[in-house]
Amino acid sequence: MTCIFCQIASGKIATDLLYSDEHVVAFQDIRPQAPKHVLVVPRAHVASLWELEDRELAGALLLAAAEVGRSQGLGAGYRVITNIRKHGGQEVPHLHLHVVGGHPLGPMLQQD
Ligand code: 5GP
Ligand code: ZN
Q: Which of 30, 37, 51 to mutate to test the pocket of ligand 1 (most atoms within 8 A of CB)?
A: 30
Residues framing ligand 1 (Cβ under 6 A): 4, 27-31, 39, 83, 89-92
What atom of ligand 1 comes closest to residue 37's alpha carbon? 10
Is residue 87 annotated as a catalytic residue, yes or no? no
Q: What is the mean pLDDT of the chain?
A: 96
Confidence of residue 95 (pLDDT cuts 50, 70, 90): very high
What atom of ligand 1 comes closest to residue 31's alpha carbon? 12
Of the listed ligands, the closest to the CA of 16 is 1
Output the pLDDT for position 39.
98
What's the Cα-to-Cα distance from 17 to each of 11, 40, 61, 76, rounded to whole Å?
A: 10, 10, 15, 23
- Give me the catalytic one of 23, 94, 96, 98: 96
Output the pLDDT for position 1.
67
Cα–Cα dist 73/36, whole Å: 9
Output the pLDDT for position 111.
62
List pLDDT tens digits, range 17-41.
999 999 999 999 999 999 999 999 9
Domain extents in the chain: 4-101
User: What is the dotted CATH code of the domain comprising 4-101?
Assistant: 3.30.428.10
> What pTM did the predictor assign?
0.96
Confidence of residue 108 (pLDDT cuts 50, 70, 90): confident
Q: What DSSP string runs through 44-102?
A: S---SGGG---HHHHHHHHHHHHHHHHHTT-TT-EEEE---TTTTT--SSS--EEEEES
